[in-house]
Each structure stands twice: as C-alpha cells, then as structure tokens.
Structure 1
C-alpha cells in the first residue's frame, strides 16, 4: 500500500511528461516538399530548323504568328491530353507520384498524429488534475496500491519521443506513450476497488472518462 508521498512522486513524473508533450505538440515549420523534376521539351520543327544558304530568300514569319500559336495553345477546345502531347506541358519524372495525391496522403497522416498527440496531452493533463484534487485526499484517509515505476517509464517515453519530432520512431513512441498512460489509469481504477467507502466513486468515474477520451478514435 502506498501513502500520499508515493502519489506525489507519480504526479511529479506525470507533470514532467506533460510539459514535454506540450513542447513536442507545439507547431513547428513544415518541411518544404521536394520540387518536381520536369523534363524540358522542344518542338521538332524548332530543332530541325535549317539556316538559309547564301543567296536564298529568307521567309520572315508574320508578327501575329507567335500570338496565334499562343492563343491556339490556350484554346478552351483543346483537352489537357492534346496539350500534353503537343509538348507544352512537361511531364513528371518516371515513378514520381502526383503532387496533389501525395499532399493529401501526408495531410491525413499528419492530422491523425496531431489528433492522437492532442488526446494524449489532454488525458495527461486531466489525470494530473484528478490525482491532485480527488485522489490525494483519499490517500490521506486510506492507502492505495500505486505503481510509480509506470509514471517514470511514461516520462522517459515522452522525453524520447520529443527528440524524434517525426518519422516512424516518433509514431512508435507515441503509441507506447498511449499504452503506458492507459496502463497507469487502468491500475488506478483497479486500486480504487479496495477502498472501504463509496467516496472513491467520483474519482473512478473521472478516471474512466479520461480513459475513454484517450482511446477515442
């Protein structure tokens, strides 16, 4: 059985993890996407233009010729396929994904990670508050089994995650932090089952609500 001092140790480590999570969740400048590799194309007629021989008459194109070509290229009746085949649009490098599809996939992934991080920060903050205001007074009446090592591990995971910022290691640490906090809350709920009076019910209800919000999808 643990006394209030053990709970204060847990709260201290959880509060340290919360500060780390809040710093890691702060917005940071996004990385610049790679520039698409375009291949420059030229029309065959231009590359095969021959210089006139001495004595031959040089045919000068009319001033409106270039403008007519430009208007023909911008004509609404021409499909994007026709324009691309004519050489006016530069294709992407072989094997390169379309920019709009890549951007959409990254946006959805970032939104999912941001939502998961937000729920972790909110659950940690709420847990510290419940422990300070509701659980600590109960421990002064009756000792409860606590597990400070879980809170220490939770803080270490959050500290390691903050160093990653992004990538697969960051996602793995985020999953581990979620799982560790889930275990902490579940153990607290089980510990309250041995409390001799009904005064533990508000604490248990608050912990269950925190757990539900943490696991929400």
Structure 2
C-alpha cells in the first residue's frame, strides 16, 4: 500500500501495540509498589475486658462487690500495712515488668536479589521500547504524513501488524523467558519499521525529508542504545 491512507493504517497498528505496552507498564508498576509495601500491618488495641475491671466485668467496684465489700476494701487501704488487693480489684493496670520484652524492631530491607535486578532491567527496557514507539507515531503523524500527501511511497503494513501482535502476545505472558523474548522481538520489529521508513524517504528531495529523517534517526539511535 502507498500514500497517506496506508500510513494511517500502519500507525493505527502501532498505536495498538503501544497501548498494550503502556498497560504492561502500569501493571508492572503497581506490582512493584505492592511488593515494596509488604503485608498490611495490624495494630493491636487493648480489649475492653482488660480495662473494665477484674473478671471482665463492666460494673464499678460498688456494683461488683456490694456496699459492704466496698467499705471493707476502703478500710484495708487506710489501715497500716494493708493488703494491696484493692488495687487489683479496682481495675487499675498492674505496673509493667521492667525486664519485659519491648516491641519487636521493624525488619530492615535486605540487599536486592538477582530477581529484583532482572525485573528492574526488564521494566527499563519496556519503558524505552514504549517511549520509542510513542515518538515514532508522533513523527509519522506530524512530519511524515504531510510528505506523503505530496509524494506517496510504499508503506510496509506487515511490520506494524507484527509489532501489534507481538505486544499482544507479550501481555499474555507478563513474566518469564517468553516475556523477555517477546520484548526483544518488539524491539527488533520497531527497529525494522524505522529503518524501512528512512530508506523510503530517499524518493524525496533532500530539503523535504531532512527533518523527518533526522527525527527517525534519533529514535533509531536511542532504540539501538538499549
């Protein structure tokens, strides 16, 4: 196919692949944040039965023991050398054991595992492939499409369709060696699309295609640096 219509169809396939790559980026970012946060922390609150009095009763001292017993406890407190039993019965918390164990220290993060480093490298490569695809689509829309309206040239739809299909297959894998192979294939397919566009621009006078050729070469250079 040739002309602006062919380019627009090609761009639509590239956009389909780009949307898939961005969805994969979002899913990977959420999974990384969830792993960094770890399991939710549960706070421990004292139960009402520990603060309401002996035996788990919700009643006051007078209601729990009766008036006679309450007067007896008061007499024991006032008497010299009285028994401290009234303090335990009144529901006041016992003093802490100075030798008791304090709260456990928070776990410190350990060194990054090889799997974590590998995942970080994959996320970085995925981001760069997605970025190159986005810049390619922008250059095709703003720079290449006006040229094609003046002088059509063949557009290779097969490569754009292949790029979209590879990205779709990658979304089904999400991890593992097959995901890495698909990401490599998407990278290579994007490289082929850009190289063929640069070659096709040879039909234009030098002044016309210098801006778009320069933009495509810059995208290709960034892609090859991965």
TM class by smaller structure? 0.5 to 0.7
| Aligned-residue RMSD, C-alpha | 2.2
Query: How far does residue 146 in structure 1 lie from its aligned partner after superposition?
Result: 1.3
Match of 2:121 among 96, 101, 112: 112
Match of 2:158 among 142, 146, 149: 149
Unmatched runs of 5 consecutive residues or more in structure 2 = 36-98, 100-108
1:1-217 equivalence runs, <5 A: 2-26=2-26, 27-30=29-32, 103-217=112-226
Normalising by the residue count of structure 2, what TM-score does the alignment of the two structures yield?
Answer: 0.63
Separation in 2 of the partners of 1:134 and 1:109?
Answer: 37
* Structure 1 counterpart of 2:53: none
* Structure 2 counterpart of 1:96: none
Query: How far does residue 100 in structure 1 lie from its aligned partner after superposition?
Result: 5.3
- Deviation digits for residues 96-121 of structure 1 (CA, Å, limit 9, x no counterpart): xxx957x4312221121111101101
Query: Comparing 180-189 with 197-206, which one deviates more in the overlay?
Result: 197-206
* Structure 2 counterpart of 1:87: none
Equivalent residues of 1:144, 1:195 under 8 A apart: no
Query: How far does residue 149 in structure 1 lie from its aligned partner after superposition?
Result: 0.8
Separation in 2 of the partners of 1:111 and 1:211?
Answer: 23
- Deviation digits for residues 67-117 of structure 1 (CA, Å, limit 9, x no counterpart): 9xxxxxxxxxxxxxxxxxxxxxxxxxxxxxxx957x431222112111110
Unmatched runs of 5 consecutive residues or more in structure 1 = 33-66, 68-98
Separation in 2 of the partners of 1:166 and 1:12?
Answer: 26
Separation in 1 of the partners of 2:175 and 2:182?
Answer: 10
- Deviation digits for residues 130-175 of structure 1 (CA, Å, limit 9, x no counterpart): 0000000000000122101100010000000011111111001000
Whichever of the two has the greater Rg, that structure is 2
- Deviation digits for residues 38-62 of structure 1 (CA, Å, limit 9, x no counterpart): xxxxxxxxxxxxxxxxxxxxxxxxx
Write out the 4+ residue segments of structure 1 that deviate beyond 6 Å after TM superposition. Answer: none
Normalising by the residue count of structure 1, what TM-score does the alignment of the two structures yield?
Answer: 0.65
SS of alignment partner, residue 209 of structure 1: helix
Q: How many residues align?
A: 153
SS of alignment partner, residue 185 of structure 2: helix
- Deviation digits for residues 165-194 of structure 1 (CA, Å, limit 9, x no counterpart): 111110010000000000000000111112
Separation in 1 of the partners of 2:115 and 2:225?
Answer: 22
